[in-house]
Structure 1
Amino acid sequence: MTDSRPIAVGENTPGCKKRDPIVVAENVTRSFGGINAVDVEYLEIPRHKITALIGPNGAGKTTLFNLLTGFDTPNTGKWQFEGNSIAGVSSYKVARMGMVRTFQLTKVMGKLTVMENMRLGAADQPGERLSKALFKGIWGGREKEITAQAHVLLEKFKLDAKKDDYAASLSGGQRKLLEMARSLMVRPKLVMLDEPMAGVNPALTQSLLDHIKNLKAEGMTVLFVEHDMNMVRHIADWVVVMAEGKIVAEGPPGEVMKNPAVIDAYLGAHHDVDLGDAEGIKELEAELEADEESVVGTEDAGILSEIVETKEDGK
């Protein structure tokens, strides 16, 4: 049964509290030289929901992912997962706790087969310990369990026919699927996807979308970075917007697209354009068409187009 209760407690403002958060982050900062890449005062990620993390290029989205999952060290801050502090915890320990992530540039082991990649993702493997590696009787049973689990996931992701192929032979979209499938080997509670649609053939896009929705249906929480606003609008329950390292807006997709702070974050030099007026919208479209490559980039231009369409629909 679908839970129709509000996700946030109170108003949908930046850093608002959630009814049932799985991740809570406070005062998380990360700077590179004189640049504040991340400056998150407070953020909660709702449990059993699909949350999209969006923002202009360079907003700090991937850096925040790296900090939360132990792949980078913040200057300040603390954060919890399932009520347990994971500040300073190694990335592999974070994954074992049930918080896993994928990468914008896939991290599959190209010289290993698809099945070998899947086995690497599993936890609790006695054979990894040198003292037990020579005794197959100790770890053989667990390896059979891992292999059986991998077979089930590969069939679900339609990669079972590729199980004996080297991962390097897979297409970009298939590597995304493999990385997502491998992350499920630890039976995670939170799956974090960094631009899951980047570089994916359109033929595999719907498959990836279905798999992401299935993660939620199976009781997992999803947090993903994405520039495709059509995807965000159709599968996200909640949207968090970052700009210049800060959280500038939160809320349901339709509400966020109308938020002045979001419009300002994406428009930059175009902030003086009146989006409430038909002529203002046409003016913005003309300006974006002229400089989308040199100023906002094609990814940000896609989100801007969605903002414009939302404004037009709401008139």
Structure 2
Amino acid sequence: MPADTNTTRSTGLHVGEIRPGVPKVDPIIVADNITRSFGGLKAVDVEHLEIPRNAITALIGPNGAGKTTLFNLLTGFDKPDTGSWSFDGKALAGVPAFKTSRMGQVRTFQLTKALAMLTVLENMKLGAKGQAGENFWVSLLPWLWRKQDDEIEQKALKLLERFKLDAKQDDFAAELSGGQRKLLEMARALMSDPTLVMLDEPMAGVNPALTQSLLDHILGLKAEGMTVLFVEHDMHMVRHISDWVIVMAEGRVVAEGPPDVVMKNPAVIDAYLGSHLDSDIGVVTGRVGVVKEKKK
């Protein structure tokens, strides 16, 4: 694991006292009054939220906290009941998912979305934007798009080599392991040269042998100037690679700040365990667990 440098990593990200909705020095996402209800359940109720640019931000919280729903709203995969938000200064309310992707905001999913009956290389090439061959009439004239297609393929091959999937380029995506599919999704996301990469539980279902590789790749995204926002339950991962942590519970942002500060916040302990439980937060194999006190 990388050395714990949370104090230095988080310096200069926020303005003023740390609290839910604290302004950021240079936010890439700004959201106001985002709400989403399903029947009588208000899944998301976020008054104000800012995501810092060129940083790795973790979005954490117990199951049902609204993390993935918020992801879906911010990326255009779902529509909020109320609210407005912007990405890189551009308003996104009402903008569909494919357009937000073209603007530089891409995401992966907890359940991978690789096209199983296409090869790994074909999946990668689909991630490139602005392909001339996608136009029906242009597609009938190969000399108009062949050069661009060759360039896209070379870019895809370089990324596959970087993610150690080059040996699998001709395999069907269905033949990959769960961890390899996560790597493929992340690599495919980079085909569009994104500004912001949003990862929904990148470690879920990943073989421990690939965990360090995924961590290194996430850190590599920041090193290349990208912003990362990810949903995760693995507190060991959150503590070691995040610059900033946002905590949700019952659809609301209840705390945010540098990892070491957030982990000690009573609101975070309450969000995970419930104030009515006589419990402590324990780190069990890298994950937050409930350690109940033995009855006397």
Amino acid paired to 2:288: I
- Taking only aligned residues, the RMSD between alpha carbons, in angstroms, comes to 2.0
| Residues 240-294 of structure 1 deviation map (CA, whole Å, 9 limit, x = unaligned) | 00000000000000000111111111111545x4xxxxxxxxxx25xx99xxxxx
Please list, as runs of the form range in 1=range in 2, the aligned pairs for 1:63-82 lying within 5 A after superposition. Answer: 63-82=69-88
Q: Which has the higher strand share?
A: 2
The 1-side partners of 2:196 and 2:11 are apart by 21
Which of 109, 120, 125 is the equivalent residue of 2:131? 125
Where does residue 235 of structure 1 map in the other structure? 241
Q: Which has the higher helix share?
A: 1
Does residue 1:34 correspond to 2:19, yes or no?
Answer: no
Q: TM-score, normalised by structure 2?
A: 0.92
Does residue 1:224 correspond to 2:230, yes or no?
Answer: yes
| Residues 42-69 of structure 1 deviation map (CA, whole Å, 9 limit, x = unaligned) | 0000000000000010000000000000
Amino acid paired to 2:228: V
What percentage of residue pairs aligned between the two structures are identical? Answer: 67
Where 2:238 maps in the other structure, the secondary structure is helix
After the TM superposition, list the runs of 4 or more consecutive aligned residues in structure 1 that deviate by more than 6 angstroms: none
The 1-side partners of 2:271 and 2:96 are apart by 33
Where does residue 54 of structure 2 map in the other structure? 48
Amino acid paired to 2:12: P
Does residue 1:267 correspond to 2:267, yes or no?
Answer: no
Which of 109, 118, 122 is the equivalent residue of 1:112? 118
Change (3 A) 1:4 1:249: closer
Where 1:71 maps in the other structure, the secondary structure is coil
The 2-side partners of 1:227 and 1:3 are apart by 21
Where 2:287 maps in the other structure, the secondary structure is helix
Q: CA deviation at 1:304?
A: 4.3
Does residue 1:97 correspond to 2:97, yes or no?
Answer: no
Where 1:23 maps in the other structure, the secondary structure is strand
Does residue 1:18 correspond to 2:3, yes or no?
Answer: no
Amino acid paired to 2:50: E
Q: TM-score, normalised by structure 1?
A: 0.87
Where does residue 93 of structure 2 map in the other structure? 87
Q: Which ranges in structure 1 are unaligned for 5 or more consecutive residues? A: 274-283, 290-297, 307-315
Where does residue 214 of structure 1 map in the other structure? 220
The 2-side partners of 1:200 and 1:72 are apart by 27
Please list, as runs of the form range in 1=range in 2, the aligned pairs for 1:143-182 lying within 5 A after superposition. Answer: 143-182=149-188
Q: CA deviation at 1:302?
A: 2.9
Where 1:95 maps in the other structure, the secondary structure is helix
Q: CA deviation at 1:305?
A: 5.9
Where 1:186 maps in the other structure, the secondary structure is coil
The 2-side partners of 1:61 and 1:232 are apart by 15
Where does residue 288 of structure 2 map in the other structure? 303
How many residues were matched structurally?
284
